[in-house]
Amino acid sequence: MGKWSLRLVAALAMVAPLAACTTPAANNGGGESGGGASVGGGRLAAVKSAGKLVCGVEGTIPGFSFVDSSGTYSGLDVDTCRAVAAAIFGTSDDIDSKVEYRNLDSTARFPALQNGEVDMLARNTTWTLSRDAAGGNGMEFAPTTFYDGQGIMATAEGGATSLSDMDGKSICVETGTTTELNLATRIEELGISVDEVKFQDSNATFAAYEEGRCEGITSDRSQLAAKRTGLSNPDGHVLLDDVLSKEPLGPVTINNDSGLFDVVKWVSYGLIQAEEFGVTQDNVEEQVGSESADVKRFLGAEGDLGEQIGLPNDFMVHAIKAAGNYGEIYDRNIGEQLGIERGLNKLWTEGGLMYAPPFR
């Protein structure tokens, strides 16, 4: 009998993972129906019922997403998460308790999103065809929140002024990014040979660069500028003029779940539209009673735009109260902290690329 009961326990132990396996399948079944026409199904409903938005961020880039010593997150990407959460939950009160951040490195981000470990990414992710395509990574890209480009930083001591000066030298690269593809292409075009040293983690990449392992380091220009502020001798490093790529960075959600995707997309556009309308974190309450019908519709005082994407009609009011409009977010995080000019990130009315489709 003792033997039998042991076998029974063994059998039960084998069944346990079986039960565990079926649960995620049931969840994803819900996701499948959300992929259809039903508004507010799928992941959006799951987020609402959980009362918490799980947001994948980088976590170590000042200005974009950075955890300070007290564990508080700040940055442009973080503010995007907060705005989306405020829109979904219909409140800006104590919004930080309704967003949970996960630090993801560049290779872990897509699997984390695909597995449902995070609801959305706001993590310096470049929008490319193969990442967007169902036959590739199968993601959905919300509007670009920061137009960046890949650059190269080199030691002032080395005297390099462009990529072609890096012939025969080493460049540190963070692996698993479009960065290494762009670098490989450009190096081949120039016909030079560069020793590429690739790291999994951006901190290790910068640590090795600072130790002098490489004469140069390549990454998005914004990230290079941000990380330069943390180097022991910021003036000893120069950003080369080469811009190797277009890097439109924006939030990402999973493919075939248009409920959540629409929300992230339109909240991101809403932040840009708010700047265009002149709606700010401070005056948003007054603007609800604005003369302009466009502004009233935008803030949900008229019409049912919010309901159409499965949110309260005044979703933008909460989003703006939580994070401010795009201009405010940019100035607070990028402009003041990193000193990067707005450039392409100006509104279209001022010669930039930030343009939101009409809220009608």
Partner 1 sequence: MADPGLPVKAQPLGKTKPPIWRDDRFWKIFFQFVAVAIVVSVLGVALTNMNRNLAIQGRTFNFGFLDEVAGFNIGESILPFKRSDSYLYAFFVGFINTLRLILIAIPMATVFGLVAGIASFSSNWLLKKLSLLYVEIMRNIPILLVLFIWYFVIFFGVTGSEDLTQVSPFLLLSKKGIWIPWPDSTAASLASAAVLGVGAIAAFFISRWRTKIMAERGAPGKTQLYVLLSMGVAGLLIFFFGLGWQFPGGEDSNNIEGGLKASLEYSAMLMALAAHTGAFIAEVVRAGIQSVSKGQWEASRAAGLSQTQTMQLVVIPQALRVIVPSLNSQYITLNKNSSLALAIGYPEIFSVSQTTLNQAGRAVEILLMLTLTFLFLNLITSFIMNRINAAVQFNER
List residues near partner 1 by CB under 8 A. Answer: 4, 7, 10-11, 14-15, 17-18, 21-22, 24-25, 28, 31-32, 35, 106-107, 110-111, 114, 130-131, 134-138, 168-170, 172, 175-177, 180-181, 183-185, 187-188, 195-201, 204-205, 207-208, 211-213, 254-256
Query: Measuring CA to CA, which residue among 56, 255, 311, 269 is closest to residue 140?
Result: 255
Complex with partner 1: residue 208 or 344, whichever CB lies closer: 208
In the complex, minimum distance from the CB of residue 328 to partner 1, in angstroms, rounded to a whole number: 33
Cα gap 310→313, rounded to integer Å: 9
In the block, residue with structure tokens 């003792």: 2
In the complex, minimum distance from the CB of residue 308 to partner 1, in angstroms, rounded to a whole number: 25
Complex with partner 1: residue 4 or 360, whichever CB lies closer: 4
Cα gap 268→72, rounded to integer Å: 22
How many CA atoms does the CB half-sphere of 55 hold within 13 Å?
30
Complex with partner 1: residue 155 or 325, whichever CB lies closer: 155
In the complex, minimum distance from the CB of residue 296 to partner 1, in angstroms, rounded to a whole number: 39
Q: Which two tokens stand for residue 53?
A: 């938005």
Complex with partner 1: residue 231 or 288, whichever CB lies closer: 231
In the complex, minimum distance from the CB of residue 251 to partner 1, in angstroms, rounded to a whole number: 18
Q: What is the CA radius of gyration of the chain?
A: 23
Complex with partner 1: residue 130 or 292, whichever CB lies closer: 130
Strand runs labelled E in the chain: 53-57, 60-61, 65-67, 73-74, 99-103, 120-121, 139-141, 146-148, 150-155, 170-174, 195-199, 216-220, 237-239, 247-249, 252-254
In the block, residue with structure tokens 């967007």: 132
In the complex, minimum distance from the CB of residue 66 to partner 1, in angstroms, rounded to a whole number: 22
How many CA atoms does the CB half-sphere of 355 hold within 13 Å?
8
Complex with partner 1: residue 102 or 169, whichever CB lies closer: 169
In the complex, minimum distance from the CB of residue 353 to partner 1, in angstroms, rounded to a whole number: 26
